[in-house]
Structure 1
């Protein structure tokens, strides 16, 4: 065996199988409630037993082996949660789809992932049919969650293997455990390969940086699909024995969220800014006791200053922000509660997404990959154990995503002298007007300071004179009349003239992605669909 520098023989790359988190918690706290959904509750012992049964079924009845990919199309439920650990236990790869995607989109995921099996909610027959039409190498079996005309019933199959104990398959650090599909806002979704070793670090890092002192006495509420960030968040809860509470319906019902927070004395929640905004602006936030909350974690998109302040006024000093793409599983920066401040002033770090996560390094780089000076805008790049293994079967995407070992986030920003990082926006969002770089995030922040504005998005569109100009799409607060809001006049003196949007468009609602984010791609498509872009703004000759 070759020697590493310094004459040390490389050690084994064997790591803990992630499913062992559940085994450990079931051993320590077998009779604690671990999972709550609707009127049902499961102890950790029961959850571990159900995962064992499903792992046995997948292995012995359907031939699932280490490395096989299992596609899951389901709304949040206990079976979806269990399927994660059953796949991990066998060394198989969990491939969750966002249940709001179309049948054709899920069929693409089936083909792109090379799925060998499908676990599908009974309410998605078209998705199951579309996925099964795909080949290379082809889906060999289908399990339905709930009574359905397709597949074998998940619970019936699991019941046949009740009482079985399946040891976790041995895994190495770089063995894949999860295909985390990107949102595909600029093209087809890509399968980011998450591994057992990487995710072991991510769980530890989340517990260290996002919700320190989490124990079996804590409780977490799930308000987002388990297919992405919320699934990672719940894996973290399992590691320390904190119970997870699912919402009873697929649709977000804000009063129900607050009622569950009160009933279960919820201590932490993971969400995105748009959902957090809905939670704190609903009247029900004042009708229920939410004093148990210690950490309300938001990520996935920047949170505007006006919304931050409103959330802190309602919930107190509990906000935790992190910045991190799926490819880095959320582990780039953190801004703990102590660095969130209601009052503007020298101690309020307005606009920051925090500082580097533990054991992660961030560098702001120019187009050639060189580090830029503090305060200078460039691309946010990152290295560290939380960075994914690369995109599955996509060498072109991998070549574009990595440079000199650094993962390129595609986000623009700058780092202050003290290490705090500020996001300017996606590199794809920036536009050039009259030779000047325009960053929509800055303009959106200013617009949202207006008391009658609820949501705003600024996009660059072609212009025959200036190259590109901004179009601001705005949503007024309830009760406000858009025609009476003189936004351009209100922005005078707050924004340089060259940054002023050329037009302001008013909509009743803003289109959002399947994860609740305001997506510029969807907004641009909606502008075109409504005919609100002229020929030159669509890049056409007049």
Structure 2
């Protein structure tokens, strides 16, 4: 599939005559084979734990096979999309591998989306079947109105007497075979968070996911094995789902909390009880967990890798997390379009000094097999120390968005994927994300990049959270507004904050307004949603 292709699935494999008549299409490894192989090797070891429920790898394999058999019976085959809507659940994991085993494309929606938003995803992906948690009947009805669903609906978390309940599917005597797939076959429609508009479906193929799994083990969790365990504190529909794959590949146990929302007390208790060694999270969740008093009440010494990504993490929050957890933080920078696979900052590199004039830390060096290029608006590579757009090449880069030729044309230039993020590299190749190109605003003719302002404000003891946005102004074109959350009971005096910033920032960069809210709006993936902040400021 080319970078600008937008077909629903890859075509049937054809011989590559350009490489010689003897060349044949290359088989890819179905991602479901990760479970197949581990269940054979470690059948009785714990695979998934949730409350009192413990599934062995053999039991999880049989549950995935039950889903695969039912999907095949309902007509789901190679390349057919299966839309999935559910919070984290044991049956969600079985469904994930069952979809792949049947040859389908896993298309998981964030369970926090509204019914109409999920219906839009159905319109985009034209799913053959739906797998939905029983608590979201309204969403299932909206999807059924938007798509034909010839394969019908299967239900997660439903009582066995409910028609289509996954819990009632007959357990096979032996595992279902993994459907044959080829390089380029679609495996996952990874929906963007939609913070700048309607979500797009990032196409992730079996072969690219295979590279990412190996790279995660190599660069993020060296030595990951069957003696390890992860705890899931983010939706499996997104980055946490990708993080699950290397756990399955190496036979590491997955622990699912039972609380419907983030409960730091439960998370830290499970880390101690299940001897959790690794976790994937986003900066906002990591900050919440490490600020919770329960972090000091449990034995967290089993942790080896606490991996965070999805948005820049401010230095003040990093330092707090390191104080609480020790040197176990692993940062990576990446987008869904590159399956998170751009840079890595291992534990021993946290605290690395930044070049002169750079106020924030590095997000690490390029991941193994990946290349980063900082480019100007014409696509010319810039030298170290120069700010430009972060562009990426390598096996983790996606082949294109589903049915979106316009977005594909905008996202690739001369074969490079354009992230839309601004950054620079230093002389040793370490990457620094300086901001999102769309976050930049122009005040009085000068470019203002919010992140450097946010970093400084977060060093003030009275500021717990902050987001700086540009809003229209008749005199300056745009002005900066700092939306802050107080660290104490009362907001900090505005003049004090201006003085705090004035010592290190040019005057034109200092926000003209400071407002105080109880919380910063965030997406279902824990990212700050600046579009929502701007809309709220316009109406306030």
CA contact (8 A) 1:132 1:139 kept: no
The residue that corresponds to 1:535 in the other structure is none
Instruction: Tell whether 2:201 aligns with 1:191.
Output: yes
CA distance in 2, matches of 1:342, 1:248: 37
CA contact (8 A) 2:400 2:408 kept: yes
Aligned pairs for 1:26-425 within 5 A: 26-60=39-73, 62-135=74-147, 137-147=148-158, 152-156=164-168, 158-159=169-170, 161-341=171-351, 350-425=360-435
Report deviation, 1:481.
Answer: 3.9
The residue that corresponds to 1:536 in the other structure is none
CA contact (8 A) 1:331 1:357 kept: yes
Change (3 A) 1:407 1:270: same
Out of 240-249 and 137-146, give the one that drifted further: 137-146
CA distance in 2, matches of 1:480, 1:385: 50
Report deviation, 1:342.
Answer: 8.7
CA distance in 2, matches of 1:4, 1:436: 52
Out of 143-152 and 448-457, give the one that drifted further: 143-152
CA distance in 1, matches of 2:430, 2:121: 37
Report deviation, 1:524.
Answer: 1.3
The residue that corresponds to 1:431 in the other structure is 441
Change (3 A) 1:366 1:150: farther
Change (3 A) 1:72 1:385: same
The residue that corresponds to 1:447 in the other structure is 457
CA distance in 2, matches of 1:58, 1:499: 56
The residue that corresponds to 2:11 in the other structure is none
Report deviation, 1:147.
Answer: 3.3
Change (3 A) 1:404 1:279: same
CA distance in 2, matches of 1:378, 1:151: 55
Consecutive unaligned residues of structure 2, counting only runs of 5 or more, are: 1-14
Report deviation, 1:363.
Answer: 0.3
The TM-score normalised by the length of structure 1 is 0.93
Instruction: Tell whether 2:20 aligns with 1:20.
Output: no
Q: Secondary structure at the match of 1:152?
A: coil
Change (3 A) 1:111 1:344: closer
Report deviation, 1:372.
Answer: 1.1
Report deviation, 1:150.
Answer: 7.7
Change (3 A) 1:199 1:79: same
Q: Secondary structure at the match of 2:176?
A: coil
Change (3 A) 1:201 1:343: closer
Aligned pairs for 1:514-533 within 5 A: 514-529=524-539, 531=540
By relative contact order (CA 8 Å, sep 6+), the higher-ranking structure is: 2
CA contact (8 A) 1:372 1:378 kept: yes
Report deviation, 1:54.
Answer: 1.3
CA contact (8 A) 2:351 2:361 kept: no
Cα deviation code 1:23-69 (max 9, x no counterpart) = 11111111100101121000001111111111111112x11111111
Change (3 A) 1:181 1:132: same
Aligned pairs for 1:502-517 within 5 A: 502-517=512-527
Over 3 Å off, 4+ runs: 1-5, 7-12, 137-140, 147-151, 342-346, 478-485
Change (3 A) 1:224 1:485: farther
Consecutive unaligned residues of structure 1, counting only runs of 5 or more, are: 532-542
CA distance in 2, matches of 1:88, 1:344: 43
The TM-score normalised by the length of structure 2 is 0.94
CA contact (8 A) 1:103 1:126 kept: yes
Compute the RMSD of aligned alpha carbons.
2.0
CA distance in 2, matches of 1:478, 1:344: 30
CA contact (8 A) 2:106 2:187 kept: yes
